[in-house]
Amino acid sequence: MKGDFELLERDGLARICRFETAHGKVETPAIMPVINPNRKVISASEMRARFGVDMVITNSYIISRNRELREKALKEGVHGLLDFDGTVMTDSGTFQTHVYSDVSVDPSEILEFQRAIGSDVATVFDVFSEPDFTLGQAENAAAVTAARVKEAMSSKRGGSLIAATVQGGLYPEVRERTARRLGEEAPDYFTIGGVVPLMEEYRFADLASVIIASKKGLPPGRPVHLFGAGHPLMLPLAVLLGCDLFDSASYVKYAYDGRMMFPEGSIALSDLKYSWCDCPVCSKHAPAEMASMDENESVLSISEHNLYILTSELKRIKQAIHEGSLWNLVEARARSSPQLFDAYAEVLSHSNYLSRFEPMSRRSGINFVDGLSLKRPDFARFFASASGIRPGKADRLLVVRGERQYFSHYDFTSSDIGEDTASLTGVGIFPIQITETYPLAQSNYSAAMECAEKPDSYSARFGYGAWRIADGRWRRMGAGANKPDRLSQALIVCEYQFGRKYAEALLSGDVQCTYSRNTGKLRSIMRDGRQLLFFRTEDGLFSVKFHGGEVLHGVLAKGTMSVECSDDAIPFVSVGKSLFSRFVTDADEALRPGDECLVVDRAGNLLAVGRAVLRKEEMLSFGKGVAVDVREGRSSSASSRQSEDTK
């Protein structure tokens, strides 16, 4: 349905979504090349055919001011004017007010014109907030913009989706407050405006602050477009912060200046002697050959190269989201530019906000390079939780060190009875039982990194009577090795994942551990012949089975770790079908994407267990897509037990 926005994959705030318009579906993150109808270097239809562009943007103000363009657009529609059968967004002329102070635009007229020419996404005329605005000026720009959005939504008619722009200068509180106010008007699409000067001046730290403040206030179930962001250098960072769409005239503006874009920056063609780029343009023409072309041919070639770089960078970003490695990409790119590095440091200063969207584990581990890597939200949360867990109840402590420490591969023959064991790594000291849990076993560490905490302070923190340090004995478990206490491992991992109280509830009574004969790793936790938990070897955490969900449901406070669904979803969820967002009525605010959760009905009865895909506010905001990936339902669990009983 037109206006639908569905989340397909995510990596924290970054996401791959499907946005549906009257002229097709657009997969985000996506770049919208700016089409100037007065000067088309590359046609919109060619962009779709050669570059895979599904959405473009053009300026309705420019079209409306040119009689020939205006008449053709009103007669044939903006799609006919541009010769493009994909999605077209139109800007309102706000940017022209930034560039030319004497521009006059009637907000109602320009919106109606956009609707009249059949724009898929029409932008409300907003007030551009300059970076040097005072607080009063920024608040006024935001207030006038919000009032225009309110008027546009109250008189909404026609087939265009409505885009509302978040303004507010460099004042985070104004940006967030304005975003919330705009969200209350329920437009179809949001843009973050007033940021072009920041990008032109490489003020990426300010840009990051503006994006984060805006995202805090915006409803998560709508597309977010960063206006004027068209350089590959900052695209990974903007996507990391939750931006979905970008528009770019830079691909052609840079070409007129003779500059070629690359992910690490731009280089003047006149300075380029050796080309390492293998795009179709650079594969066909050497730098010297492009430099000898006439101006029109050179502009065309560089424009095509720049578009290839932009579209390929977004594919790289999407792959990183799919892998769960976007943080690694952003950190690597940040180290290529001092200004981008400052922006990355600004991002890390918002760790508390970002951690709400960070999963307990990812497909890809962390590349720990230095102390900055340790400040990533997912590791900061791991450290805060895991470093507070005591390795056991003994009075003495053994601290072992060595490369690639895995609990299942440690030869406990070397340990004395009555000793707790902790593992010394480059990023901290942790109970040895958690060494197979993300991110310790899944990540890469620089050999130059040294643990900030020393064994003596660690021992004193937990009140050990004595401690010693030794090199670990790591080997595959064999006949002569003393096997590890897997129940101890289960308890420590459960304490980290669910909390001590719930770990003890899950592992009380006569529980049994099963393990892999091939790897020696923990596999399942059983009680009364039924599976409570399944140990995921890929991240060293537990998946909750329905019986485990019953145990947790019996001790958790109402609503804790739970997602509540409407009556319509009960028949599907109970047999193990995924829970979709439109059927969610409430959820625990503490749940993060990837967390184990319980699905309950309105009365609080347990229906299923699974993993949350979205946070509460996302579940209630997205009108389409999966909210909980259900693993096992009440009915499917009962059928499975009945089948086992009859064998």
CA dist 470 and 204 (Å) reads 46
The residue written with tokens 């409407």 in the block is 566
CB contact at 8 A, 483 and 412? yes
What backbone phi and psi angles, to 5 degrees, belong to 377?
-55, -40
Angle at 261 between CA 257 and CA 264, to 5 degrees: 135
Half-sphere exposure of 429 (CA within 13 A, CB side): 24
Q: Are 421 and 398 in contact (CB under 8 A)?
A: yes
Gap between the Cα atoms of 627 and 118, Å rounded: 34
Backbone angles phi and psi of 87, in degrees to 5: -80, 135
Beta strands in 545-614 (DSSP E): 562-565, 579-580, 584-587, 596-600, 606-612
Lookup result for tokens 């477009």: 225
- Paired tokens of 319: 């792959």
Sign (positive or negative) of CA dihedral 415, 418, 419, 420: positive
CA–CA separation, 434 and 157 (whole Å): 58
Alpha helices in 39-90 (DSSP H): 44-51, 60-65, 67-82
Q: Which of 283, 280, 368, 287 is nearest to 327 (CA)?
A: 368
Which residues form the catalytic set?
91
Distance of CA 533 to the CA centre of its chain: 28
